[in-house]
Every structure is written in C-alpha cells, then in structure tokens.
C-alpha cells in the first residue's frame, strides 16, 4: 500500500510530469494542475461571482505570500501545501456523499480504493465520483 506522499508524487507525475511551473491550455496550474476552485478550497484564492473557468481574474488571498498565479507557479512549497489542504477537503466531500463506503468493493472490474476515490475527485469532483459509484460504473465521465 502506498503512502499519502507516494500518492501525491504519482499524482504530480501524472498531471504535469512533476513540473511546478506547468500551465495547461485549460488554465490549470502547477505540479498538480490546480484550477481556481481548488485554490478557493485550499484558501489561496477568491472569486466573485463564483464562476470557475480558470481565467484567474479573481483575487489571491496572500496566503503563504501568494498574490498571483505566477507566484503560485514559482512556489513548490505553496503548491504542496495547497494540494494537501485540497485533498483533505476532497476527502471530506467524498465522505459526506458516502463514497468512502465503496472502498474495497469491486466496480467495473476494479477494486475501489481510497486513493482511487481521491484521484477520481481530483479529475472530476466528488459529485462525479459518487455518480459513478452509484451507477455501478456506468456513469463513467472522462477528464479532458
């Protein structure tokens, strides 16, 4: 069984090749390809109205001296901290929806794991994960 840090390392490798300065065509930033909503959840960003399209026209909170998307890209420490906070929050969302009760069950030929739940939530959100689980794997949405 992998540690949480190994999970994060694998996630960062998959999302950006481990590149803290990565910025993709959809506006996702950093090693973990975090968007506006993820940075709101981790306390680094606010946006009103809350329309999350990754155009980065909201306001950075100044947490950990991050005042812009460029500051975020230049701070591996902030990216690591933001991702840990975000994963804790995502786990709370998954638990509140009952997704954690599927851990260990077989769906669509795959054994559901806690790390798999978090990875799914990272890509499509906790709501999509529970839809997939409740549909017995028929509600499979793909990430861009």
* Nearest by Cα to 40 from 65, 14, 8, 63: 63
**CA atoms of 97 and 43, how far apart (whole Å):** 22
Token pair for residue 52?
């999350």
Please report the pLDDT score of residue 61 as a whole number.
98
**CA atoms of 87 and 107, how far apart (whole Å):** 23
pLDDT category at 140 given cuts 50, 70, 90 is low
pLDDT exceeds cutoff 90 at 143 = no
Please report the pLDDT score of residue 139 as a whole number.
66
- DSSP code at position 100: G
Please report the pLDDT score of residue 111 as a whole number.
95
Please count the other Cβ atoms lying within 10 Å of the Cβ belonging to residue 134.
Answer: 15
The secondary element (H helix, E strand) that includes residue 107 is strand 106-107
pLDDT exceeds cutoff 60 at 144 = no
Strand partners, 110: 107
Structure pTM?
Answer: 0.90
Helices and strands (DSSP H and E) totals, the chain? 6, 4
**CA atoms of 71 and 66, how far apart (whole Å):** 5
Predicted confidence (pLDDT) per residue in 20-40, tens digit: 999 999 999 999 999 999 999
Length of the chain: 144
Please report the pLDDT score of residue 141 as a whole number.
59
Please report the pLDDT score of residue 138 as a whole number.
83
């Amino acid at each position: 069984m992998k540690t949480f840090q190994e999970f994060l390392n694998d996630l960062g490798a998959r999302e950006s090749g481990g590149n803290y300065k990565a910025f993709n065509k959809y506006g996702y930033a950093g090693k973990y390809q975090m968007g506006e909503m993820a940075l709101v959840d981790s306390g680094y960003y606010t946006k009103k109205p809350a329309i999350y399209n990754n155009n980065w026209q909201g306001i950075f909170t100044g947490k950990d001296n991050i005042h812009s998307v460029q500051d975020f890209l230049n701070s591996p420490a902030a990216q690591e901290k933001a991702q840990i906070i975000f994963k804790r929050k995502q786990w709370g969302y998954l638990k509140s929806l009952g997704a954690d009760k599927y851990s260990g069950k077989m769906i669509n030929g795959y054994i559901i794991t806690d790390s798999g739940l978090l990875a799914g939530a990272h890509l499509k959100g906790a709501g999509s994960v529970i839809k997939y689980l409740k549909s017995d794997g028929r509600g499979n949405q793909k990430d861009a």
